[in-house]
Amino acid sequence: MNIERLGNGSMIDFQNEKDFISYKTGDIVFDEGDLGSVMYGVVEGEVELRTGGKYPASVRENELFGEMVLLDSRQRSATAVAVRDTTLAKITKERFLEYVGKDPSFALKVMGTLAGRLRVESKMRGL
């Protein structure tokens, strides 16, 4: 099974965040359908996103995931699993807004990530 890279060239350094959480290989970060209130930035390691258990996509250092919950307050659309020992920065909605306030281009990076995922999904569905 192919693993699609979700990075869009917009690297974000999450080293200076204050709220980190670590996962061991195989640990579940969140399950599809879970409610959530934070997005994550990968500080170190790798996370695989699985939608419907069908298609893995990977997220690596300086990339983010879980951002949709901050934008629409809905359930998680995928399951996130650490595929290596991984350290994540937890980004709350308030912190997200701080990022955007200090650097509006941060919003473009998040939108670029979303656009990349939509392209992958469209390609998978043959659209």
16 lies in some domain: yes
Q: Which two tokens stand for residue 34?
A: 């879970």
pLDDT greater than 60 at residue 1:
no
**Which CATH number characterizes residue 86's domain?**
2.60.120.10
pLDDT grade for 124, boundaries at 50, 70 and 90: low
What average pLDDT does this structure show over 79-86?
96
pTM, entire model: 0.82
Distance CA 77, CA 67 (A): 10
Domain count, the chain: 1
33 contact partners, CB below 8 Å, separation of at least 6: 75, 76
The string of pLDDT tens digits covering residues 26-40 is 999 999 999 999 999
Question: Which range of residues forms the domain containing residue 69?
Answer: 4-115
The string of pLDDT tens digits covering residues 83-93 is 999 999 999 99
The string of pLDDT tens digits covering residues 52-78 is 767 668 999 989 999 989 888 899 989
Q: Which of 42, 85, 37 is nearest to 60 (CA)?
A: 42
Dihedral sign (CA 97, 44, 19, 30):
positive
